[in-house]
Structure 1
């Protein structure tokens, strides 16, 4: 057995055998044993003389004891020391627990950061696959067009060469015959017998006239391939885009009476006097200056562009087929609208509840809307540089229609139209 430490031995000596704790008001009996005053008093309670020592069983005729101030002082010092030790142990335990919690927090942070890194890598890999696929499709279009152009050029070359070859063959044949005749005449001119000349009557027949082949028109042959090929191919690529810009038209049956449409139904402008439409129906907006496109979508991906110019106020986006067109309601997804808006010429916001204010680097003159039906996403782009303006990620279910509102002009401002763009202008150089 290991020897007890001095501190442990002292504490044992200062422990009451009755309560097994450090002395409280230590008193000493005649037998020199110490006890807590309350403990010995309680121990002797109800006992008539003589009384005994709880430790050595020595008898005493009277219940007498003596307060031991020296032991009391030592007990207080031990108790204080014990309290400091307990406080230190408590602090150490609390610090340990705090460090363990801190370690767990850091581990969780590291785990989350690594999960984020994995997510970033996974999303990036998916996006890389998508980007590669998009450019692969464009390159395929270019490769197909290049192959087609070169094959067409080869065919036209063969046709021109065939024309020359068809003219060249009889000419070469005539040259060959002429050379043979020359050799025969040279041989005849060297001979002395006249009989040889009589044997060559065919030499005196007349020759057929020989014409030059038609001139090769270099300009006519080259003009197709000297044209602005990049622009021509771009036009073909434009038609092959998936999704390509959808050629929208306004639905006159949905137009508010204050909206006037152009003859081709690609331009809408608010009109103070009101327009007498042929009929009012459940499709027409009656309370708000709104209009829908004739084309609706419920599957696939669709993109269209709207020219807004310097118009100071407008709303545009998509609206569910089922929206109430006779009531004045807020444009929000809860009410079947996914839109962005402009007010006062520079205050842009998304049609959420409450509205989400948008900070744009520049004011878009044209806005592109990208609808992904299966993914339920509606995205808005500045069509001048294709920067994202806003995106609804919890978009519509079911059939929706492109939505527009030219709004009512303020004061004496001249009304500005909203134009649907079928083919976005693309610079030919630069």
Structure 2
């Protein structure tokens, strides 16, 4: 029998259903009423019990006598009875079973997704470690070819690589820990759901599921680019910047020059001009676009050259396959045999993809360094003053290629655009 408000709590051994059971009919209360002795009975049961009694009546439980047949309806107990009655109905049990089953399936699915994410994170960590180890071998190999004085620079570069590797690993580790935490929360909810599936009384109070964001892919090319650069040359330039050293000199191939391009006598300066030069042999020449190639071509090894662009508001630089169409008007893109970087409007730099990729540069370089690794198929562009990376193609050309240049067409009577190949003492790159 349920106790009234303020009465001592029911025995811990008794169930809620027992507390809400009428002592007369031994079933859940129907229209529960309370006597002055605080005992509860069904209204119909106590009315039948007192029927025919003359004079004082008694409580069926404690036998306390009352002068009159008085009781009061207990609406709180009535509400509790209805809740218990509805929670034990067949429909409620079926709905609860369905809800528990669906929630359990959902949590198991989420757990599987997170476990899969953990496997991916661990694979990613293995990749980072493998790439980091490979890069350390590459860096050490380049530095061994330099003089002993470069050991300090080598140590600095390796420390930077290790820091960046640790930063990448830390990112993945944080995601891994967040994922494992989410799994623990899910397992706690799954345990509650499994326990509730057995009891089937009410839906448990679940912890909010921790949301784990999708981890960004590890960009091997971006991570590796600065360590796959011409490290010996980069370091050499940093140490001897006042001497302005450079690689072996290139020269322009006059036979490839568009008719509006004038080449200096020493073949190191190309400038666009209004007067077009007539040539007898046009088999190698660009006829539609204002382009020119270098006389030196490459199909193996690692190569680096520099071009002075000065304050020219527009130009195109890079490499071109030997087989490119030189007589038609072709868009510069790797699909058409060009790996280039361009400047437009004096401050807009673009990577030569289709569509073009906008480059965010902190300043306007006056000299551009172009690095070609034929064996690893990489083409990179640098600000030759500080050797900061400007643009990288990680899937470069196959076969023979030539350094490519375009001073572009000058507009509105601007000063003719000039490109100059920079000549410095020869530098032997490792490999």
TM-score, normalised to structure 2's length? 0.56
Partner SS state of residue 307, structure 2: strand
- Aligned residue runs from structure 1 range 88-107, under 5 A: 88-107=96-115
Q: Once the two structures are superposed, what CA deviation does each residue of 1:164-205 show, in whole Å capped at 9, x if it has no partner?
A: xxxxxxxxxxxxxxxxxxxxxxxxxxxxxxxxxxxxxxxxxx
- Aligned residue runs from structure 1 range 212-223, under 5 A: none
Question: Which position in structure 1 is the counterpart of 2:81?
Answer: none
Q: Contact 1:248/1:266 (CA < 8 Å) preserved in 2? A: yes
Q: Contact 2:286/2:326 (CA < 8 Å) preserved in 1? A: yes
1:269 to 268, 271, 276: 271
Q: Contact 2:342/2:350 (CA < 8 Å) preserved in 1? A: yes
Distance 1:312 1:305 in 2: 18
- Aligned residue runs from structure 1 range 216-231, under 5 A: none
Gap regions ≥5 residues in structure 1: 1-5, 7-76, 144-229
Distance 1:269 1:396 in 2: 27
My pick for the range that moved more, 134-143 or 114-123, is: 134-143
- Aligned residue runs from structure 1 range 179-190, under 5 A: none
Distance 1:142 1:318 in 2: 31
Q: How much does 1:291 deviate?
A: 0.2
My pick for the range that moved more, 284-293 or 347-356, is: 347-356
Q: Contact 2:408/2:417 (CA < 8 Å) preserved in 1? A: no
Question: Is residue 136 of structure 2 the alignment partner of residue 128 of structure 1?
Answer: yes
Q: How much does 1:275 deviate?
A: 2.6
Partner SS state of residue 395, structure 1: coil
Total equivalences in the alignment: 260
Partner SS state of residue 282, structure 2: coil
Distance 1:255 1:410 in 2: 20
Q: Contact 1:368/1:383 (CA < 8 Å) preserved in 2? A: yes
Partner SS state of residue 147, structure 2: helix
Q: Contact 2:143/2:150 (CA < 8 Å) preserved in 1? A: no
Question: Is residue 146 of structure 2 the alignment partner of residue 138 of structure 1?
Answer: yes
Gap regions ≥5 residues in structure 2: 1-16, 18-84, 152-235
Q: CA RMSD, aligned part only?
A: 3.2
Q: How much does 1:93 deviate?
A: 1.0
Q: How much does 1:399 deviate?
A: 0.6
- Aligned residue runs from structure 1 range 114-193, under 5 A: 114-139=122-147
Rg larger in structure: 1
Partner SS state of residue 398, structure 2: coil
Question: Is residue 85 of structure 2 the alignment partner of residue 83 of structure 1?
Answer: no
Ranges of 4+ aligned residues in structure 1 off by more than 6 Å? 77-80
Distance 2:378 2:292 in 1: 22
- Aligned residue runs from structure 1 range 16-415, under 5 A: 81-139=89-147, 245-277=247-279, 279-415=280-416
Question: Which position in structure 2 is the counterpart of 1:63?
Answer: none
Distance 1:114 1:328 in 2: 49
Q: Contact 1:305/1:424 (CA < 8 Å) preserved in 2? A: no
Distance 1:95 1:261 in 2: 76
Partner SS state of residue 277, structure 2: coil
Q: How much does 1:79 deviate?
A: 11
Distance 1:126 1:314 in 2: 36
Q: Which has the higher contact order (CA 8 A, sep 6+)?
A: 2
Q: Once the two structures are superposed, what CA deviation does each residue of 1:320-364 show, in whole Å capped at 9, x if it has no partner?
A: 111111101101111111111110001111111111111111111
Q: How much does 1:405 deviate?
A: 0.2
Question: Which position in structure 2 is the counterpart of 1:423?
Answer: 424
